[in-house]
Amino acid sequence: MATMVRGRGVTATAYEESRPDLILIITLGLLSALGILMVYSASAPRLAAAGLSPTSEMLRQVLFVAIGAVAFWVFSSFESRTVHTATPLVYAAILFSLMLIPFFGVGEGSVRWFAIGSYQIQPSEWAKPGLIIALAAILGAGDEEGLGTKRILMATAAIVPPVYLIFRQPDLGTALILVFIFLAMLFAAGITWRQTAGFVLAGGLVGFVAYRIGMLSLGEYQLNRIRSVINPDQADALGDGWQRLQSEIAIGSGGFTGQGLFEGTQTNLRFVPVQSTDFIFSAVGEQLGFLGGALVIALYGVVIWRLLAAATASPDSFGSLVCVGTAAFIGIHVFVNIGMTIGLPIPVTGLPLPFMSLGGSSLVAMAMSIGLAHAIWLRRSRVPARVARVL
Amino acid sequence: MLIKRWRLFAVGLLFLALFSSLTIRLWYVQIAAAEVNEERAKANRLREVQTEAPRGRILDAAGRVLAETRASRTLLVDRRVLSFEQEEELVQNLSVLLDEPQNVLRDKFLAAPSASRFVVAIDVDGDVATEVLEYSDEFPGVEVRLSPVRSYLDANGVSHVLGYLGKPSADDLESLSYLRPNDDFGRAGVEQRYDLLLRGRPGREIYQEDSAGRLAQLVAEEPPVGGWDAVLTIDMRLQETVEQALRDAIRTASGPEADPSGKAAAVVMDVNDGSVLSLVSLPNFDPSSFIGGIDTDTFRDLSEAGALFNNAIQGLYPPASTFKVVPYVVAAENLIWPEGVFTSETIIDLPARLTFGSELGAGSQQVFNDWTDDHGLTNLHSAIEKSADAYFWLLALEIWRSRAVVDPNIIQRTAEELGYGAATGIDLPAEAGGIVPDEEWITRSRPYVGGDLMNISIGQGDLVATPLQVANSYAALVNGGTVYRPRVVDRFVDQDGEVQFVNESDVVRELDVSPATLDMLTRDLKLVTSGGRGTARDQFADSPIRDLVGGKTGTAEIPPVGDPATTAWFIGVAPINDPQYVVTVMIDRGGSGSQTAAPAVRTILEYLLGGG
């Protein structure tokens, strides 16, 4: 079938007819716009109090959203085949940059960033879309019925080195996210019950050995984080537990309809640290209440729905798996981030809320990933549109 | 191979479940648990945090800003929200951020009370502030705020009037109940004297505390009210002229009696209301060096140089010949004259040297040498003009001889009327009162003898006064006899420009001296600068304002006797026909009053009268 659309000119003309997923694009636009608004409401009072321009954080977010939009548009235009071909190169680049981090990276406590001017680039963010296509390429190849054990082993071999490097930064959160994405893609790719049992057994064994020889030891910083989750009220010395408690108080004060936009930031939010980044949802909860919070969750639900719809519409399993991986990528961020702000026991912090938290790397990485999924949606027809119409 | 649809459906269901659980939890937190939270919040205690008010400005008489309060981007650390381990980590992070050694920062933490919010850095630049806000999880308990910080504009010349700010000691905190440990408050000058009016009213923020005593919620807020602006009577242009004149005088002081210490003082007063138009003391200091805490070395250097000592109101010096106007008034008012003199016009031939037997009493100085041996024929007027010691010695001798019928302390009583021996009451802290050694004062340590009275009559002996006292006494003598309380602050103005407080000029007393005597004295002061034998004649000879001024020289011997250096004084009065200004200059160890101090006064008067 693919041979039918090999000619470049033909491809372009034919696929132009495929309509972009307006529901997805509008939803992402709404989330991004709300994010900009929330970043402003959460940052302006503090910036003004500090004698800085109150719009400075918001304007940075506007810039990030603009870059994200461009990334989405560019990646939407990529041929699935081109992406597939580039996979080995992308994988190598990710592994390489993660290996460079211990030598050239910056960061206090945890070394995750490259500094470029006043901006910081976090390679583990780019690793997420990169590893999604790498896994999709491995798991989606082949014509055999079901997923071969060999493929599972290959995929595992591909995912373990970058995950381990990220774990060592240390960035437990991102490492766990990658494992989750991997598992979701394994499931979608068709792992059988038997293979699952074997995978869990082998994984557990390897993990146990690695732990015993000290490769998985957790730092005091990570242990604190876990302790604070177990008992936030007693987490006096642990800033993490306190942040979460404050966030929960802030959101609780929102009630059903919220305190109103730009209201309440002087009160509770002053006590929620990193409120424009990791705790942006506490601004939503406090100002817009349950209605606003539930709407945001529903909007993310729409995004997941559209990504899975793209997975269903994909003409090949590579494309489907890219879409599923992206859905898992976005979905788990939403769950972990919002869960953390409303007091669910989640031992991971530092994950942004997709498209809303202030931050460039993760927003652009997510836009790229969704762009790839959208590219697959755009090329969903197995028959070129014009041909289909003629038929 | 294609992906099975049911597997995609299952992934969708998983997220539906996860997102549903988020929504349920959100419902619980915002709706179901809201009442529980509210109950819990009510049980929490409230805590009040004060916010600093911007300190009022200090302006000169022409409205030039001498001290203002600018908004400085400040890093505050709230120790209430920090555990010990967090503090240690915070010190390390701040050390990197602020590029300051850890031990310096740790000292700041230790100096702050354990449950306080304190300033860890002022004048932080925007990048640092952005970093703190952006990585706030690495800087727990750190707040970035625009806080009011004092700033002085090129204020060295007027530093002794302005004073400076500092942190209160334990004693200060006890005596000044409105102060909190981290407050800045005035430690000298106008800053100290009017601290309450300048500081304004701090704002209040009332927070709810959580069970662990951490600030959890802002309940109420009351913004601070800025302090009032002080408008001084000082004119900064004049002040600069005066300071320069003093520095020139110190630099050019010459002669065998000149050995300048660098200390000097000048006071320019408006004689008609006691306003101090200029008050300079050298050496001076930069009030800005106290902002944000002065380091001990700088403070020690300033103290050792005497730069924190206001010579104009704290320096006690023998007024020497400038004091002769006091026995002058005593003579003219009480008609007590040297032997053989019957009126102010009576001329006697003065000896260069007076020698006594037992007449002055046991232990008295017996030999008195005038500063020059060619006074010759002299009456009261020329005694002032030529500054003839012997005339006033003979006058004192006459008082001593008639002590059975005349109050032997009559010179001292008159001096006290003029404000000697007690603080003038100027609105600056720590003013010295000086000493007028009367019989009672002297007999505390030794018998009161004739020599004491004779020395006092020429402003020596145990008599000491501040330059301000000398200035104020001349002001009263030339304004028709009113002693004012000198003042450096005219009024206070609030933020809207409304006058809130006027520091009225106070009359301390009216002198019981006839206008005729005062007029005569004023005319005789003119002889000093323009008379044929005036002691400051040469210094004013070519001045365009020569005919508009009068004055009096003084050259004080410095105890203990034997030190050849003398302290130079000159008091200038202008315009002499209707006096408005009194200019007093004192140059410590500056040599002769006419040589060193008079030129400085000339420069100042020429500026004041527009002749310079």
- B1: tokens are 């191979």
> Which residues, in sequence order, are CB contacts of B399 under 8 Å at separation 6+?
B330, B336, B406, B408, B410, B411, B453
Please check the confidence at residue B292 and state whether its pLDDT lies above 80.
no
What is the token pair recorded at A313?
């519409």
pLDDT at res. B41: 56
More confident residue, A64 or B374: A64
Nearest residue of chain B to residue A324 (CA atoms): B8
- Whether the per-residue pLDDT at B398 is higher than 80: the answer is yes
Helices B5-27, A280-313: inter-axial angle, 10-degree rounding: 160
Considering only CB atoms, A270 lies closest to which of B16, B212, B218, namely B218
Question: Which chain B residue has its CA at the smallest distance from A136's CA?
Answer: B3
Task: List all residues 6 or more positions away from A106 whose beta carbon is below 8 Å from its beta carbon.
Answer: A113, A114, A115, A120
Three-state SS annotation for A111-154: CCEEEECCEEECHHHHHHHHHHHHHHHHHCCCCCCCCCHHHHHH
Which residues fall within 8 angstroms of residue B304, CB to CB, at 6 or more apart? none
Q: What is the DSSP letter of B486?
A: P
Chain B residues with beta carbon closer than 8 angstroms to that of A293: 23, 26, 30
Residue A7: predicted pLDDT? 41
A220 shares contact with chain B (CB less than 8 Å): no
pLDDT tens digits for A27-62?
999 999 999 999 998 888 778 878 888 898 899 999
For residue A14, pLDDT beyond 80: no
**Mean confidence (pLDDT) of chain A:** 82
Q: What is the pLDDT of residue B89?
A: 85
Is residue A306 over pLDDT 90? Answer: yes
Reported confidence tier of residue B212, pLDDT bands at 50, 70, 90: low
3-state SS class at B483: strand
Judged against a pLDDT cut of 80, whether residue A391 lies above it is answered with: no
pLDDT digits (tens, 9 = 90+) for B255-271: 889 999 999 999 999 99
Whole-angstrom Cα distance, residue A166 to residue A389? 49
* Cβ count near B44 (within 10 Å): 16
Residue B210, min C-alpha distance to chain A (Å):
10
**For tokens 């703190």, what's the residue?**
B132
* B42's tokens: 């009510």
Distance CA A180, CA A335 (A): 12
Q: Give yes or no for residue B306 having a pLDDT over 90.
A: yes
Contact A252/B136, CB-based, under 8 Å? no
Predicted confidence at residue A118, as pLDDT, reads 63
Q: Report the pLDDT value the prediction gives residue B108, as an integer from 0 to 100.
A: 80
Please report the pLDDT score of residue A2 as a whole number: 38
| Inter-axis angle of helices A361-378 and A22-49, nearest 10 | 170
B373 pLDDT higher than 70: yes
Q: What is the mean pLDDT of residues A380-384?
A: 58
- The pLDDT assigned to B172 comes to 87
The kind and range of the H/E element at B408 are none
Determine the Cα angle at B522 with ends B517 and B527, to 5°. 120
Instruction: Name the pLDDT band for A16 (thresholds 50, 70, 90).
Output: very low
Q: What angle do CA B192, B193, B198 make, to 5 degrees?
A: 75
Helix (H) or strand (E) holding A358: none
Look at residue B228 in the predicted model and tell me its pLDDT: 96
Better pLDDT: B491 or B129:
B491
| Weakest-pLDDT range from A152-156, B34-38, B120-124 | B34-38
Report the pLDDT value the prediction gives residue A237, as an integer from 0 to 100.
Answer: 37
Q: How many CB pairs under 8 A join A and B?
A: 173
Residue A230 contacts B where some CB pair is shorter than 8 Å: no
Among A152-156, B161-165, B215-219, the minimum mean pLDDT is found in B215-219
Find where tokens 């625009």 sit. Answer: B146
Is it the case that residue A388 has pLDDT exceeding 50? Answer: no
Residue A107 backbone zone (phi > 0: left; psi -120 to 50: alpha; other: beta): left
Q: Is the ipTM of this complex over 0.85?
A: yes
Residues in chain A within 8 Å Cβ distance of B96: 108
- The arithmetic mean of pLDDT across residues B596-606, rounded, is 97
The pLDDT of residue B209: 67
* Element housing A282 (H / E): helix A280-313
Q: Which pLDDT does position B551 carry in this prediction? A: 97
Residues of A in contact with B81 (CB under 8 A): 242
pLDDT tier at B210 (50, 70, 90 boundaries)?
low
Q: What is the pLDDT of residue B170?
A: 83
The model's pTM is 0.74
Percent of chain B with pLDDT strictly greater than 70? 95
Give Dmax (Cα) for chain A: 70
Per-residue pLDDT, B216: 62
Q: B530: which 2 tokens?
A: 């323009």
Q: What is the mean pLDDT of the segment spanning B138-153?
A: 85
Give me the mean pLDDT over the B451-476 stretch: 96
Contacts of residue A93, defined as CB under 8 A and 6 or more positions apart, other chains included, come to A130
- pLDDT at residue B178 above 90? no
Q: Say how many CA atoms lie within 13 Å of A21 toward its Cβ.
A: 31
Averaged pLDDT, B43-69:
85
What does the pLDDT read at residue A112? 73
Which pLDDT band, with edges at 50, 70 and 90, does B577 fall under? very high
* Angle value at C-alpha B126, between B222 and A277, nearest 5 degrees: 80
Quote the crossing angle between the two packed helices A361-378 and A56-76, to the nearest 10°.
30
Q: What is the pLDDT of residues B380-394, one digit of tens each?
A: 999 999 999 999 999
Residue B192 clears pLDDT 80, i.e. is over it: yes
Q: What is the mean pLDDT of chain B?
A: 90
Burial class (CB in 10 A: 0-12, 13-18, 19+), A216: middle
Using the predicted structure, report yes or no on whether residue B131 has a pLDDT greater than 90.
Answer: no
Residues 75-94 of A with CB under 8 A from B: none
- How many angstroms separate the CA atoms of A377 and B431, rounded? 88
- Given a cut of 90, whether residue B485 has pLDDT beyond it is yes
**For position A380, what pLDDT does the model report?**
79
Which amino acid is present at A45? Answer: P
Which of A40-54, B552-566, B594-608: highest mean pLDDT? B594-608
Task: Tell me the per-residue pLDDT of A316-375, one tens digit each, with 9 for 90 and over.
Answer: 889 999 999 999 999 999 999 999 889 888 876 778 999 999 988 899 999 999 999 999
In the chain, the amino acid numbered A4 is M
A252:B211 CB<8 A: no
The whole-angstrom distance between A309's CA and the closest CA on chain B is: 9
Q: What per-residue confidence (pLDDT) applies to A31?
A: 97
Test B146 with A312 for CB contact under 8 angstroms: no
- Nearest 5°: the CA angle B429, B432, B433 is 125
Cβ(A181)–Cβ(A128) under 8 Å? Answer: yes
Residue B582 reports pLDDT greater than 90: yes
Closest Cα in chain B to A184: B11
Residue numbers in B near A308 (CB within 8 A)? 8-9, 11-12
A345 in contact with B, Cβ within 8 Å: no
When pLDDT is averaged across residues B195-207 and rounded to a whole number, the result is: 87
CA dihedral B408, B409, B415, B417 (to 10 degrees): -110
Tens digit of each residue's pLDDT (9 = 90 or more) over A238-294: 456 667 777 887 888 888 988 888 776 555 556 666 678 888 998 899 889 999 999
What whole-number distance in Å separates Cα of residue B553 and Cα of residue B468? 16
Q: In what order do the strands lie in the sheet with B203-209?
A: B46-51, B203-209, B215-222
pLDDT digits (tens, 9 = 90+) for B504-544: 999 999 999 999 999 999 999 999 999 999 999 999 999 99
Average pLDDT over residues B75-96: 83
User: How does residue B203 score in pLDDT terms, banded at 50, 70 and 90?
Assistant: confident
Handedness of CA B365, B371, B376, B377 (dihedral sign): negative
Quote the pLDDT of residue B508.
96
For residue B492, count CB atoms less than 10 angstroms from its CB and return exposed for 0-12, middle for 13-18, buried for 19 or more. buried
**Predicted pLDDT of residue B44:** 59
pLDDT for A366? 96
Residues A229, A340: Cα–Cα separation, whole Å: 9
Partner-chain contact B27 A290, CB within 8 Å: yes
Q: What is the pLDDT of residue A249?
A: 78
Residue B323 in contact with residue B459, Cβ under 8 Å?
yes
